Structure 1
């Protein structure tokens, strides 16, 4: 791991605007590019405040995005995109809105359908519309990435699309847009950003070019997450988390996540647990499990979170679990509506996610996965 000589490909949105009050720069940029018809893909709350983006011209709003979108949600977004005939598509919300915006940007007006592009590098070419991403939570980092996920309702599996053609032309990260995020969501999405960074940092594909963002993202979460949970209007804390989320997004492209996300996905696809909450619950278990394979990096993570530095598995778990629980995150599967008799099926689903499990620094067998679910229950 972390071989300086290993090839790596790193991409960023063409333009990144970051800082309190920069949201309206989207409209100025769109005007400078001559875009006249915008489709904004958002959830109901953010759809009510699109004026913050400063867009002019003909604006169509799809405001029905929900957490953990499935293929039916994508079909409805694509129908809206066809009707809007937009020259600019904007993802405005959390990871669900931004992922749907990515897919709409490349599939609208294309002869390809979702089934044709699932996997890596299968999108035929750029979409007919430009793509801008405006996150309103601090967790997914989707604004900086080239992957999008939707759930197949028949199989309960995540369908992952990866393409350079889904990279945003512009990303606008305005921490002021996150001031209204409730404490529980702030906590869960913050640990999701942390998980992106930590899973990349401890990854079999980890690389020094990414590690610098990964460990700094973890430090930012350690420094600011509890503050933002206590006071949602703390501008410095919100900005710190927005930057941590962006850094986590930088990690996702060239390295990606690993065991933690593989184990978290079935909670969302089968039981509709929010992605951030699922990752937060799983995070201490997988960090501890991986410790024997990456003891020094685990110590660095603990130090970044201001936790006692150790390479003892039990102590690693205790520290990370206490960090998450102190934020008010629910840390028991049984309290999230997951039935005990479904843990085996969840383990089957997680074990099948090889694109992530093969990145994990320590092999996770199905029995290991089931044991983690049982310990988390």
Structure 2
């Protein structure tokens, strides 16, 4: 069966406002819908600039979102929601804030716990509004239906997918990303690219999503270095915000593959920021998959500005060089990940079948272990 014949469902936020000044749409939308008790879910930095949202009414804030949110972090956010009784939840920050906002919007008063909703389409509904306002260009969580939370006991990520977690409004204002430091800009930009690349080369790839995926890679290839060099470059910031949104579009119907599976233990076990973990792993999995997805791999390398190739060594060199030139730390040892943990990490990564089963080439536990050792 050709890819065009595979059934696919495309879900998008009910309304998307994109561009410089789009943040003003948040207050307008809240007023249109009559929301008077907003709860803003944010990290500490964005909690300190909630006034930029221009909200009216009894504004409540949960400003303690962690870079890699875990169950206690979610429970604290849910407790704040129980106190505030919001009629609209607003995710204001990176993917972590937006993921928690999704869960805060659907769990309180539902009779469901996180354990009840882990997996696809188990959420029963949503009784409040949901607005997403990204302040980084990486996860594209504003455009998707998934949320991830780490279980500190198992050190594994719990994934929830639900159409009820899709935003009513996604306000994507590239101006909000201008405060993001160069290192974070680089890592989150590669994360956005990885979403696109993995969806593009997935066994579940589909021509509808390929359009977003390849253009997302092209945007990162064109604009990421510029944004790292000059954070005030408005055109570059807008290009990356669009790439991130496109990456979010890829996640729902297709999702990521081995790159994210291999990266997840770095965040869950060693608290490495998700974008950085994905950037470090990206060249290794792209090269591993090169010959199983030759034409598309060559298109990715071309989009990054290098000479198209399907040779695994050439693919690795091009992808690694792209990340290294951005200043991304590409060695696990430099991030404090001990080799003694590689065996456990490989076992955990190999168990993430929801992603690895979509990889264009079968990846064994030993293959994953070899990637960690090469990245040491």
Q: Deviations over 1:34-72 (max 9, x none)?
A: 000000000011011111112111100111111111001
Q: Give the 3-state SS of the residue equivalent to 1:137 in structure 2.
A: coil
Native 8 Å contact 1:105 1:130 kept in 2 = yes
Which residue does 1:3 correspond to in 2?
Answer: 3
What are the equivalent positions in structure 2 for 1:157-196 lying under 5 Å apart? 157-196=156-195
TM-score normalized with structure 2 length: 0.99
Q: Deviations over 1:329-363 (max 9, x none)?
A: 00000000001100000000100000000010000
Runs of 4+ with deviation above 3 angstroms: none
Which residue does 1:128 correspond to in 2?
Answer: 127
Which residue does 1:349 correspond to in 2?
Answer: 348
Q: Deviations over 1:202-222 (max 9, x none)?
A: 000000000000000000000
CA distance in 1, matches of 2:195, 2:41: 24
CA distance in 2, matches of 1:338, 1:205: 32
Which residue does 2:361 correspond to in 1?
Answer: 362
CA distance in 1, matches of 2:74, 2:66: 11
What are the equivalent positions in structure 2 for 1:45-194 lying under 5 Å apart? 45-125=45-125, 127-194=126-193
CA distance in 2, matches of 1:329, 1:2: 38
Shift in Å, 1:292:
1.0
Q: Give the 3-state SS of the residue equivalent to 2:13 in structure 1.
A: coil
The answer to whether the aligner puts 1:33 opposite 2:33 as a matched pair is yes
What are the equivalent positions in structure 2 for 1:264-283 lying under 5 Å apart? 264-283=263-282
Q: Deviations over 1:115-143 (max 9, x none)?
A: 10011111112x22110000000000000
Q: Give the 3-state SS of the residue equivalent to 1:4 in structure 2.
A: helix
TM-score normalized with structure 1 length: 0.99
Which residue does 2:204 correspond to in 1?
Answer: 205
Native 8 Å contact 1:2 1:208 kept in 2 = no
Q: Deviations over 1:119-177 (max 9, x none)?
A: 1111112x221100000000000001101000000000000001111000000000000
Which residue does 1:225 correspond to in 2?
Answer: 224
Native 8 Å contact 1:25 1:54 kept in 2 = no
CA distance in 2, matches of 1:82, 1:221: 40
The answer to whether the aligner puts 1:371 opposite 2:370 as a matched pair is yes
Q: Deviations over 1:253-295 (max 9, x none)?
A: 0000000000000000000000000000000000000001001
Q: Deviations over 1:51-104 (max 9, x none)?
A: 111211110011111111100100000000111110000000000000000001
Shift in Å, 1:2:
6.1
CA distance in 1, matches of 2:177, 2:356: 32
- Higher alpha-carbon deviation: 215-224 or 47-56: 47-56
CA distance in 2, matches of 1:82, 1:109: 8
Which residue does 1:238 correspond to in 2?
Answer: 237
Shift in Å, 1:239:
0.1
CA distance in 1, matches of 2:217, 2:198: 11
Q: Is there any run of 5+ residues in structure 2 with no aligned partner, and where?
A: none
RMSD of aligned alpha carbons? 0.7
CA distance in 2, matches of 1:113, 1:235: 42
CA distance in 2, matches of 1:371, 1:30: 50
Q: Deviations over 1:307-341 (max 9, x none)?
A: 11111110100010000000000000000000110
CA distance in 2, matches of 1:109, 1:50: 26
Native 8 Å contact 1:38 1:89 kept in 2 = yes
Native 8 Å contact 1:258 1:358 kept in 2 = yes
CA distance in 2, matches of 1:191, 1:287: 13
Q: Is there any run of 5+ residues in structure 1 with no aligned partner, and where?
A: none
Q: Give the 3-state SS of the residue equivalent to 1:292 in structure 2.
A: helix
> Residues 2 and 28 of structure 1: is their aligned pair in 2 closer, same or farther, counting only changes over 3 Å?
farther
